[in-house]
Amino acid sequence: MGEEKKPEEAKMEEKKSEEPNKAEEGKKAAKEEAKQPEKPNDSQDAGDGKESKEQTPPPPPDIMLKIDLHCEACAKKIRRSLIGWPGVEDVITDFKTNKLVVKGAKADPLKVSERVYRKTGKKVSILLARYDVFLSFRGEDTRASFTSHLSSSLSNDGIVVFKDDTDLPRGNNISEELQRGIENSTISIVIFSKDYAGSRWCLNELSKIMEVHRLQGRVVLPVFYDVDPSEVRNQISSFGDSFQDLIQKSSLTHDQVLRWRTDLREAGGIAGFVVLNSRNESEDIKNIVTHVCEILDKKDMFIANYPIGLDSRMENLIKMSESHPPNDVLVLGIWGMGGIGKTVIAKAIYNEIGRNFESRSFLLNIREVWEQHRGPVRLQQQLLSQICKTPKMKIYCIESGKSILKDRLRQKRALVVLDDVDNVEQLNALSGEGKWFLSGSRIIITTRDERLLRFLNVDANHVYRMKNMDESESIELFSWHAFRQSSPKEGYVELSRNIVAYSGGLPLALEILGCHLLNTPVIEWESVLDKLKKFPDDQIQKKLKISFDGLNSDTEREIFLDIACFFIGMDRNDVTQILNASGFSADHGISVLVERSLVTIDENNKLGMHDLLRDMGREIIRKESPKGFGKRSRLWFYEDVIDVLSKDAGTEFVEGLALNLPQDDKVSFLTKAFDKMNTLRLLRLVNVKLDGDYKYISRDLKWLCWHKFPLKYIPVNFFQNNLVAIELKYSNLRFWREPQLLKNMKILNLSHSTYLMHTPNFSKMPNLEKLILKDCPSLSMIHHSIGHLDKIHLINLKDCTSLHTLPRSIYKLQCLKTLILSGCLKIEKLEEEIEQMHSLTTLIADNTAITQAPISLARLENIGYISICGYQGLARHVFPSLIWSRMSPTNNPLSLVPTYAIMPPMISSLDILNCTIHGPSSIYDNLPKPQNLQLECILENDDVVEVNKGAAKILDSLCASSCRDLAKAPNTSKILEIESSLLADNNHSQAATSRRDKCLRHLIHIGNNDQVTSSLSDCILQGLTLRDHRDDCVLQGDKYPHWQSFKGEGASVKFKVPPVYGSGLKRMTVCCEYYPSHDLSNLEYDPFLSMLIINYTKMVTLEYRRDTVTSFEEAKWKEIISNLDSDDQVEIKAIFGNGLAVKRIAVYLKYYKSSHEQVEDLPSSSREIYKDDDENNDFRLLEQE
């Protein structure tokens, strides 16, 4: 056994020696060094199987491409296309060998070759190294021992080895094969033994190895086996004797000897491994293999055979990563349905940025591994080994693994990918909720369940939702699998488009179907398409069904199956009502399905589902009873339903049935066919005729959707007390006879019923919430009982062209939020009683005979949107125009002063033009306080003074002119004086150097002046100070886990209210950036007018005026809270006057954990300054709590 060395003595020698310019200098140096006595424990050279010094892995070798370079122009074209491409530093062309050498450590070979192909249309071959390691050794010394064992160990670790006695094809020129082996190897391991330098063959190998090392930067790793590095460098001792014997016995040229000496000196000075008299040879070999693995960095993941569409998606994720402070731990989420490519994009990111970290680990398919024997422990062990390089440290149980990982993961800046996570327990065991990692680490999580990302408080801006491939990407990916080229073959184009349409842009489906159809004739393609329409592909279904099986309750699965068969494209609120009546907790259930990527909700609140997920759900139902259609829980397939109804084969298992017959189909069925379906909940029929007694229809029915209902009247014996929704669109109904009590009815839709003349008696529908009678041209009477519907919130009478009047009882509906009368050509007026509709937020009455809107509309405090008398828009904008429409230039507006008095405070601006006014004080005394009053009228002499006095009572600003004598109008200084006093009264008279500064402070200091408001205000003020009124300042909330931020361009932002479990909504802050159309110094009053909150999910529009927003009455805030529930689709609009345009808007929602535990407030130092070309941008900070 070799002499025990201290750790510092076990390091390798790494000397830099100058190459002698002359042979004599080389010999002289060797002799002089030979005279010096060798130190057996040389701290630089000696070692006992230990790595002498850590070697920094060189950059990957150049990319070599094989391409037909037939002319100089082609080569120049390729060069131009690549120079400047990411990672490419230089391009060298070789016409003799048709090779293209691309230099650049970070260049991606696949991307480079793909770009060359797209630019030239020429096929490109990538000439990568065929071998990982080339072994150079003296066979007599080490072949049967050390070299053999090292070669086996390398191979066992998946390292491809070129070993000259096994890899040389018989009959080939050995010298040429060796050169190719060296050139095509990433690393050359040179095993220097005592007689290595006595072999001309070995020295020639070494010369080639060093040549490739110098020219291409290939790695050379010397192993000094029973020799000291100094012996190799200086050719002394027994190693030097062998070399001298070779020189004496061979006829060598002076240059040849000099080259060998130079090669030996350089190789002997490279960091490597020293193995001197080692009895623990296996440990030495293990250390060498570990080091080789580190150099090769075998951690890169295989991405895909055809990485189509990867670049743009990867770029978005990299931007997410780079947008976060580099010294903070960042958790990135990749969320999407199964088979959409989450793992592929995670692999690409892992390969792309992995080398920027000290350590990295990719835990693949956690969901599946977790369920295996000791799966959790094996995952923890893999993470520990890859990040901390401690293979000897064993984990024996999950809890001990948590403790070890918590201590060890904090030691290195790491990149960790947790792939296919599906429960919180996995996150706790492998990441400690993301809290175990060193600053600067990045954790990427792929999941089908968005809730897991929220559990980790992953900011919405750091969640990447995977999208389906577009058509061009889908065609290309499918073509590579089906045709081994980038586009379909001739004769297959239309068939390929049909397959792509069926796949819905899902990469998994495109790959599976493409491989299945490879090299198959057209007739088989047609057969496959027909089969897929009824029987989805098993491989695809198996992958997609994982998400379905992972649902936590039968209720969630039932909701999914109902949506898959009946409710795609329907309004979420309507479906929720129907499913709740079935005993399901549909609000929560649908939210879970959205989070699991099984269901989508669009901007119109409509439910959606990927076609393949829909087919997967239907296949689950088909397998309930493959042959007995009547024993399935849901029936939707045309032929199956026909079979069940015509054969009276229905059973108690059937809960839902849908049948859509062609328009010209004359077939009818007996109602008795439904007799055995006594648990039928959902029934959807289109153009279906039923004969017989309707008593056979299930009394458990919750939803009846019967388009083109054939009867003139609802049957007398149609008893359906449990119905929640009736939808009889395009029906043949004339009258709705006295109905049975429908106490559970919430939705009634009789739209497009051409012959319907009267509505039903609504007293038998006491809980009705939505009444839709759109396009009923014969409807002439609304039953007066409509006034008893105290829960109704929507009435749609659009295009009921025969309707003359509304019953006066309709004005008693205090819960009604939306009333639509557009297209009711014969309705001439709305009564003043409309002011009783306290909840009305939307009135649409355009294209009617109404010529004068009721002035009492202005009393409706909640009215948000109006369309009437040719005016449409926000109520606060429309009201002044409606009032003006009641005047004429010759009318005296004072006659309408009592009318003005009832105007709500939302009237912020009123223009009275071209009128004669006597005694304007009556206007001042009766008007509410608008922000701006513009008088362009004829004033009596004494009235000018009165205008000045009256303005001080009501105005923030005044614009008045007299057609008789402009000189007597109030001057500017007077108006400014009036405004100054008003500002002082409102505690906004801070000292300021300019009107602009005063305005800014007034804008910022609104709302409750609590800690958060103050810090946010300070943030903006500091930003304004820094920018000197030139640049823009934007408030950021991304760093704080209990702040959810949403940003939009322009005056509005749309977002979905996120569910934050265990937390409640405490505060909403709105930050606006706006700019005026003129110099801000001319701003005469606070430009902010109101904020509009539109809840599309609840169909509620709320407007909060400036005084309400800034005062924050508790009742108003509770009203906002009650209208912002999880998953609601919401839009917030900020309304500014005085010609100001909103550039950007941001909404921040702050949550607290419980009534006793509040989360941290946003620090005042959190701000970000943005540069912008606009010099007149300002901010409005609104806060509601």
pLDDT beyond 80 at 804? yes
- Catalytic, out of 13, 51, 183, 205: 205
Residue of 861, 829, 834 lying closest to 845 (CA atoms):
829
Residue 230 in contact with residue 268, Cβ under 8 Å? yes
Task: Give the SS3 label for residue 892.
Answer: coil
Average pLDDT of 1122-1149?
74
Tell me the per-residue pLDDT of 154-175, one tens digit each, with 9 for 90 and over: 888 778 888 765 544 433 344 6
Is the model more confident about 472 or about 1061? 472
pLDDT for 706 equals 95
pLDDT for 1116 equals 59
pLDDT beyond 60 at 582? yes
Question: What backbone phi and psi angles, to 5 degrees, belong to 1071?
Answer: -120, 125
> Would residue 1157 show up in a list of annotated catalytic residues for this protein?
no
Query: In whole numbers, what is the pLDDT of the chain averaged over residues?
Result: 74
pLDDT beyond 60 at 8? no
Q: What percent of the chain has pLDDT over 90?
A: 28
Is the model more confident about 289 or about 1042? 289
Task: Tell me whether residue 766 is exposed, middle or buried, using C-beta atoms within 10 angstroms of its C-beta: 0 to 12, 13 to 18, 19 or more.
Answer: middle
Task: Give the SS3 label for residue 553.
Answer: coil
Query: Quick count: other Cβ atoms within 10 Å of Cβ 539?
Result: 16
Lowest mean pLDDT among 365-374, 402-411, 1075-1084: 1075-1084
pLDDT beyond 60 at 922? no
Alpha helices (H) along 606-666: 611-622, 638-646
pLDDT beyond 60 at 182? yes
**Residue 191: pLDDT band by 50, 70, 90 thresholds?**
very high
**Residue 69: pLDDT band by 50, 70, 90 thresholds?**
low
Average pLDDT of 90-97?
64
Q: Which two tokens stand for residue 880?
A: 């002044």
Tell me the per-residue pLDDT of 607-655, one tens digit each, with 9 for 90 and over: 999 888 998 899 999 989 988 899 999 999 888 999 999 999 999 999 9
Residue 435 in contact with residue 420, Cβ under 8 Å? no
Q: Which two tokens stand for residue 961?
A: 């002119």
Residue of 898, 905, 849 lying closest to 875 (CA atoms):
905
pLDDT beyond 80 at 1011? no
Is the model more confident about 55 or about 1089? 1089
Is the model more confident about 743 or about 940? 743
Radius of gyration over every alpha carbon of the chain, rounded to an integer in angstroms: 40
Q: Which residue has the tokens 């692999």?
A: 347
Residue of 125, 91, 95, 93 lying closest to 110 (CA atoms):
125
**Residue 1007: pLDDT band by 50, 70, 90 thresholds?**
very low
CA distance 259 to 406: 54
pLDDT for 1003 equals 29
Query: Quick count: other Cβ atoms within 10 Å of Cβ 935?
Result: 22
The DSSP H or E segment spanning 47 is none
- The DSSP code sequence of 249-278 is HS---HHHHHHHHHHHHHHHTS--EEE-S-
pLDDT beyond 70 at 1163? no
**Residue 1048: pLDDT band by 50, 70, 90 thresholds?**
confident
pLDDT for 123 equals 60
Residue of 1084, 1126, 1066 lying closest to 951 (CA atoms):
1084
Give the CA angle between residues 30, 34, 39 to the nearest 5°. Answer: 130
Residue of 576, 582, 580, 581 lying closest to 594 (CA atoms):
576
pLDDT for 896 equals 43
Lowest mean pLDDT among 106-120, 309-323, 1159-1173: 1159-1173
Residue 364 in contact with residue 421, Cβ under 8 Å? no
Q: Which two tokens stand for residue 664?
A: 């010209």
pTM of the model: 0.59
pLDDT for 143 equals 82
